[in-house]
Structure 1
Amino acid sequence: MPPPRSLSAFLELARKSLKAPVGQRPSPLTFVIGNESADLDSLCSAILFAYFRSHTAPNYTLHIPLANIPREDIPLRPELGAALAYAGVKSQQLLTLSDLDDVTKTEGLEPQDTRWVLVDHNALTGSIAESYTSRIVGCVDHHEDENVIAVNTGDEPRILKKTGSCVSLVVEYCRDAWESLSKQALEKADSPEQTEVDAGLARIALSAIYLDTNNLKSKAKTTELDIQIAEYLESKLGKEYTRKKYYKELSQLKEDISQFSYCDNFRKDYKAWTEAGMVLGTASIPQGFHYMLNHLGDKETLIDEFRKFAQERQCDIGCIMTSSAKDDGVFKRNLLIWAFNPKAVEAVEKFVELHSETLGLAPFQDGALDYKGDGEVRYCWYQNVTRNSRKQLAPLLRATMKEAAKL
């Protein structure tokens, strides 16, 4: 039978199913998880895909959404809490890696007892990659294909398509299930409840689409599908709803990073890859270095905190990628790259040689954060070609890491 209609009740069912004793829980458990940065797009994609796949006839297979972060990192995402509130859900109701760890230790959940669908990425990274990569059964993603997932994924999708937001792909895939669910509810004469549920789900979806496409205004990111899906979702909201007002609410929450420390900001949107035996760690921050130095701490604090952060994660190369629309009302980016050993230095210098011109890199404050010595190198730039975000920069860095390994 289908799960409950409300998102809050659905998440409670997912929690009970995960935490149930071995003989009483579904087997295998199907998890839906976004990438390890756990940004709004990843989190909302996981929630929405899991919800609609669980309500898909005829099997109604429970899909459990899992936030790819420990529970203590949930409060670092106030924009998530705001979006979920419209659906009557608190962010602490989400299941996280902490819950997975607890069940693994107490109930003996083994990898073979699980299935995994990836959203907003197509290759597991981080702490869960080794245990669960062989259990991946599908993906919905808008990044480059890592060629990890089998071509034939059976009942689960294998969707890889360029869009501004992964949520757009999730809603497109689940649209028929959503419409069927809405129709069934209307036939049962609970249309007020149906309208409320649909509006909350639409708000969650729109939150990710708006923030990932700069309110559908980014020419570099926004695709026709993003626009079409946004209009479809907005049709589920009342006449009083305005795109501009909702986007402003979310962006203000996301951009107010002054309430968090440097370390909190580094781990809020962090992704790592291992390439040619080296670890590349990247922190994405929605404010530039001018803002951080004025609101979070001075130059020495920034450098000390990032060195400590990168070393704890065993990074060979650590990056901070920033964005901001606050400087003179113009969207800008900064980029800091730090190589911590000689082999990593070779990779970074190769990156500079190949891409500094095409990215429009210029020294930040005349090299105020740059450093060379002791087998390390650190550069900080203004990135004048702003269309390149982490989605483009990380593959470029990974390619130069491969090249350096050959030398």
Structure 2
Amino acid sequence: MDDFLKETKTFLEEAAQGDKNLHVVIGNESCDLDSVIAALTYSYFLHKTSASDSIHSLPVLNIPRSQSHLKTDSNFLLCHTGINPDHLTYRDDLDLHDLHQKGRLSLTLVDHNVLVGSNVSLEESVTMVIDHHQLERKPSNKVKLVHELVGSCCSLVAGILLDSPEFPLTPQIAKMLIGTILVDTVNTSPEAGKTTPYDQEMLGRLMWLTPDLDTEKLFDDIQQAKNDVSALSKREILEKDQKQVTHGNQTVVMSSISTSLQTFLQGSDVKQALDSVLHDRNGHCVVVMTMQVEAGVPHREILVYSNNERITQELADFLETDKEVQLDLQPLPCDLQYSLAYSQGNVKASRKKVLPLVKSFLEKSSVPQDHLYLS
């Protein structure tokens, strides 16, 4: 795998010179562990199984290189499995739009099924989607779709790799996939409610390749790396695992963090960090979702923040009264202005389930455009 990633630096040079086309495999904009490992392993699969010499497969991590230090869990697992971080390619290492305009780009989307923001214009280059989120993509004969609501996108990637007799799935790759699936399913915790029979099946098949692997230790080590935000500012903690939901000109930023709200809200720089995120994303609200695992049991909290009290209240009311997902929100004390905090009784409702709710809120919202945070 690392030899392939080292070789991709040559692929970039050849693409820049116009000598080769690129098949880019890219995850979602949060660039979480699932997106990273799915992109790397599926791109490597394409590299090993493609019969074409005219196109190179290239995994791209969907964040600027300057943000790579935020991905503490990904950095740990890659280092743990012998991947040199210098061999990775980030979003700002190449111009996808230029390649697209020149007709030299193919795209496989992993861990998401629709392009967002400025990347929407790349849609004609999309040839395949592998995803486990709610399907938002319209059916198309031009795009091959592998979609199932499983716990981890890496389970779907593992199925493709394991079912291909021409692909040598090594213990190194198996370990990368196992670690990611365990994190996504909270170590297959029944309380978390994220594990499906397919995830369990893929873990079982992958374990045949690494029979001596201590999965409990691997999960704990990745979680420890994920939760270690001691070197990060409040702003960086919010950026560590961040997505946004946009409808029209309205945007809600959604950040997942691994500390409790009580811990996160300590310090005088919290409001500045939240306002900075709103400003940079041209958003009007931030939803912060926390996730901690104690003695194998997951706990969740939610913070809704805006610089406008009515906007905060409208979104909070929507989430409180939703009957579809039923978050079971219980108010928590919160001294931060224009904020509402809750414990989340329904711990099975991850951001994957809450994000569509926020999108539905925006579609139904009466928030006027002049209340958007644009300063």
CA deviation string 1:125-177 (max 9, x = no partner): 24x424312321110000111124x43236xx301101100000011122233
Match of 1:191 in 2: none
Does structure 1 conserve the Cα–Cα contact (< 8 Å) formed by 2:152 and 2:199?
Answer: yes
- For 1:152, the equivalent position in structure 2 comes to 141
> Could you tell me how far 1:90 is from its partner in structure 2?
2.0
- Map of 2:351 onto structure 1: 390
Asked if 1:215 is matched to 2:180, the reply is: no
Unaligned runs of 5+ in 1: 1-6, 183-196, 372-376
> Residue type of the partner of 1:42?
S
RMSD: 2.5
Q: State the one-letter code of the partner of 2:115.
A: L
Q: How far does the alpha carbon of each residue in 1:359-403 deviate from its partner, in whole angstroms, 9 at most, with x for none?
A: 2212222x433x4xxxxx421111122111111111111101111
Which residue type is aligned with residue 135 of structure 1? Answer: S
Question: How do 1:100-249 and structure 2 match up within 5 A?
Answer: 100-101=94-95, 109-111=99-101, 112-126=103-117, 128-148=118-138, 150-153=139-142, 157-177=144-164, 179-182=165-168, 198-219=170-191, 220-239=193-212, 241-249=213-221
1:169-227 Cα offsets, whole Å, 9 max, x none, are 011122233x4233xxxxxxxxxxxxxx7111111111210100011124510011111
Q: 1:192 maps to what in 2?
A: none
Distance 1:130 1:344, change over 3 A: farther
Residues 1:284 and 2:274 are matched in the alignment: no
Change (3 A) 1:381 1:19: same
Tell me the TM-score normalised to structure 2 length: 0.89
Q: Which residue number in structure 1 is paired with residue 66 of structure 2?
A: 72
Residue 330 to residue 167, structure 1, CA distance change in 2 (3 Å)? closer
1:50 equivalent in alignment to 2:40: no
Q: Write the letter of the residue equivalent to 1:322.
A: T
- Any conservation in 2 of the 1:335–1:381 contact (CA below 8 Å)? yes
* AA in 2 matched with 1:400: F
Please tell me whether the aligned partners of residues 25 and 60 of structure 2 are also in contact (alpha carbons under 8 angstroms): yes
Look up the match of 2:293. Answer: 325
- Amino acid of the structure 2 residue aligned with 1:395: P
State the secondary structure of the residue aligned to 1:209: helix
Question: Which residue identity is paired with 2:306?
Answer: A
SS at the partner of 1:323?
strand
Query: How many percent identity over aligned positions?
Result: 26
Cα drift, residue 304 of structure 1: 2.1
1:273 and 2:245 are equivalent in the alignment: yes
Partners of 1:64 and 1:258 in 2: how far apart?
33
Which residue is 1:308 aligned to? 276
Q: Note the C-alpha offset of 1:124.
A: 1.3
Q: Secondary structure at the match of 2:199?
A: helix
Equivalent position amino acid for 2:154 in 1: V
Is the alpha carbon distance of 1:380 and 1:342 closer, same or farther for their aligned partners in structure 2, counting shifts above 3 Å? closer
2:205 aligns to what SS in structure 1? helix
What is the rounded CA distance, in whole Å, between the counterparts of 2:145 and 2:123 in structure 1? Answer: 15
Instruction: Give SS of 2:108's match.
Output: strand
C-alpha deviation, 1:22, in angstroms:
4.6
Between Structure 1 and Structure 2, whose CA radius of gyration is higher? 1
8 Å Cα contact 1:333-1:383 kept in structure 2: yes
Q: What residue in structure 1 maps to residue 302 of structure 2?
A: 335
1:260 aligns with 2:232: yes
- 4+ long deviations beyond 6 Å: none
CA distance in 2, matches of 1:351, 1:339: 15
Query: 2:262 & 2:312 partners in 1: Cα distance?
Result: 26
State which drifts further: 340-349 or 166-175: 340-349
* Count of paired positions: 364
CA distance in 1, matches of 2:219, 2:156: 20
- Measured at CA, do residues 73 and 284 of structure 1 come closer, stay the same or move farther in structure 2, by a change above 3 Å? same
**Deviation at residue 18 of structure 1 after TM alignment:** 1.8
Residues 183, 222 of structure 2: 8 Å contact kept: yes
CA distance in 1, matches of 2:335, 2:367: 32
Contact 1:79 1:254 in 2 (8 A): yes
- 2:373 is matched with none
CA distance, structure 1, for counterparts of residue 167 and residue 238 of structure 2? 40
- 2:12 corresponds in structure 1 to 18
Mean Cα displacement is larger for which, 205-214 or 61-70? Answer: 61-70
**Whole-Å Cα distance in 2 between the matches of residues 363 and 10 of structure 1?**
50
**Matched-pair contact (CA < 8 Å) for 1:54–1:63:** yes
**Per-residue deviation at 1:251?**
1.0
Q: Give the structure-1-normalised TM-score.
A: 0.82
Letter in 1 for 2:107: W
Structure 1 pair 341–152 and aligned structure 2 pair: CA distance change class (3 A)? farther
Displacement of 1:290: 2.3
Paired AA for residue 348 in structure 1 = L
CA 71–343 in structure 1, closer or farther in 2 if over 3 Å, else same:
same
The superposition leaves residues 238-284 of structure 1 with CA deviations (integer Å, 9 ceiling, x where unpaired) of: 43x21111111111111112221111111110111211320111111
Q: 1:92 aligns with which of 86, 103, 108?
A: 86
Q: Is 1:335–1:380's contact at 8 Å kept on the other side of the alignment?
A: yes
What are the Cα deviations for residues 32-52 of structure 1, in whole angstroms up to 9, with x where unaligned? Answer: 100001000010001111111
Matches of 1:349 and 1:265 in 2, distance apart? 22
